[in-house]
Amino acid sequence: MRPLADRIRPQTLDEMVGQRHLLGEGKPLRRILASGVIPNLIFYGPSGVGKTTLASIIAKQTNRKLCKLNGTTASTADIREVVAGLDRLDAVNGVLLYLDEIQYFNKKQQQTLLEFIENGQITLIASTTENPYFYVYNAILSRSTVFEFKAVQPEEICPAVERAFHVMEEDLHSPLRLEDGVVKHIATACGGDVRKAMNAVELCALSSQEQGDVRLVTLEGARELTQRSAMKYDREGDEHYDILSAYQKSMRGSDPDAAIHYLARLLEAGDLPSACRRLLVCASEDVGLAYPQIIPIVKAAVDTALMVGLPEAQFPLADAVLLVCNAPKSNSGHNAILAAREDVRAGKAGPIPRQLQNKHFDGADNPVKGQFYKYPHDYPNHWVVQQYLPENLQGTHYYKYGENKTEQAYRAYWERIKNSGNL
CA 1 from centre of chain: 37
DSSP-assigned beta bridge partners for residue 210: 215
- Structure-model confidence comparison of residues 403 and 238, the more confident one: 403
With CA atoms as reference, report the closest residue to 80 among 97, 56, 100: 97
Q: How far apart are CA 155 and CA 188, in angstroms?
A: 8
pLDDT at 209: 86
Q: Which of 57-66, 107-116, 339-348, 404-413 has the lowest mean pLDDT?
A: 107-116
pLDDT of residue 297 exceeding 70, the answer is yes
pLDDT at 261: 93
128 in Cβ contact with 103 (< 8 Å)? yes
Provide the pLDDT confidence category of residue 285 given band limits of 50, 70 and 90: very high
pLDDT of residue 237 exceeding 60, the answer is no
Q: How far apart are CA 238 and CA 234, in angstroms?
A: 8
Question: What is the percent of the chain with per-residue pLDDT over 70, rounded to a whole number?
Answer: 91
- Structure-model confidence comparison of residues 367 and 274, the more confident one: 274
Provide the pLDDT confidence category of residue 122 given band limits of 50, 70 and 90: confident
The stretch 146-159 carries a mean pLDDT of: 90
Q: How far apart are CA 85 and CA 238, in angstroms?
A: 36
Long-range contacts of 258-264 (CB under 8 A, 24+ apart): 259/321, 259/322, 259/324, 259/325, 260/318, 260/321, 260/322, 263/314, 263/317, 263/318, 263/321
Q: Is 263 exposed, middle or buried (0-12, 13-18, 19+ CB in 10 A)?
A: buried
pLDDT of residue 356 exceeding 90, the answer is no
pLDDT at 329: 94
Q: Is 248 exposed, middle or buried (0-12, 13-18, 19+ CB in 10 A)?
A: buried
The stretch 195-208 carries a mean pLDDT of: 91
pLDDT at 400: 93
| Region for residue 212 given its phi and psi (left: phi exceeds 0; alpha: psi -120 to 50; beta: otherwise) | left
Question: What is the percent of the chain with per-residue pLDDT over 90, rounded to a whole number?
Answer: 38
| Region for residue 387 given its phi and psi (left: phi exceeds 0; alpha: psi -120 to 50; beta: otherwise) | beta
46 in Cβ contact with 149 (< 8 Å)? yes
What digits encode the pLDDT tens for the residues 338-352? 999 998 888 888 888
**CATH number corresponding to 238-326:** 1.20.272.10
pLDDT at 305: 93
Provide the pLDDT confidence category of residue 371 given band limits of 50, 70 and 90: low
pLDDT at 89: 57
pLDDT at 386: 87
pLDDT at 95: 82
**CATH number corresponding to 19-148:** 3.40.50.300
Q: What is the 3-state secondary structure (H, E, C) of the chain?
A: CCCHHHHCCCCCHHHCCCCHHHHCCCCHHHHHHHHCCCCCEEEECCCCCCHHHHHHHHHHHCCCEEEEEECCCCCHHHHHHHHHHHHCHHHCCCEEEEEECHHHCCHHHHHHHHHHHHCCCEEEEEEECCCHHHHCCHHHHHCCEEEECCCCCHHHHHHHHHHHHHHHHHHHCCCEEECCCHHHHHHHHCCCCHHHHHHHHHHHHHCCEEECCEEEECHHHHHHHCCCCCCCCCCCCHHHHHHHHHHHHHHHCCCHHHHHHHHHHHHHCCCHHHHHHHHHHHHHHHHHHHCCCHHHHHHHHHHHHHHHCCCCCHHHHHHHHHHHHHCCCCCHHHHHHHHHHHHHHCCCCCCCCHHHCCCCCCCCCCCCCCCCCCCHHHCHHHCCCCCCCCHHHCCCCCCCCCCCHHHHHHHHHHHHHHCCCCC
State whether CATH 3.30.200.20 applies to domain 154-225: no
> In this structure, which topology does domain 355-418 adopt according to CATH?
post-AAA+ oligomerization domain-like (1.10.3710)
pLDDT of residue 332 exceeding 90, the answer is yes
The stretch 88-114 carries a mean pLDDT of: 80
What digits encode the pLDDT tens for the residues 374-396? 888 888 888 888 888 888 888 89
Mean pLDDT for the chain?
86
pLDDT at 418: 87
pLDDT of residue 251 exceeding 80, the answer is yes
DSSP-assigned beta bridge partners for residue 66: 96
Domain map (residue ranges) of the chain: 19-148, 154-225, 238-326, 355-418
pLDDT of residue 27 exceeding 80, the answer is yes
- Lateral strand order in the sheet of 209-211: 176-178, 214-217, 209-211
What digits encode the pLDDT tens for the residues 46-72? 888 999 999 999 988 888 888 899 888
pLDDT of residue 121 exceeding 80, the answer is no
Highest mean predicted confidence (pLDDT) among 222-236, 311-325, 390-404: 311-325
pLDDT of residue 370 exceeding 60, the answer is no
Planar angle of CA 317, 320, 321, nearest 5 degrees: 85
With CA atoms as reference, report the closest residue to 83 among 108, 58, 65, 107: 65
Q: How far apart are CA 318 and CA 272, in angstroms?
A: 12
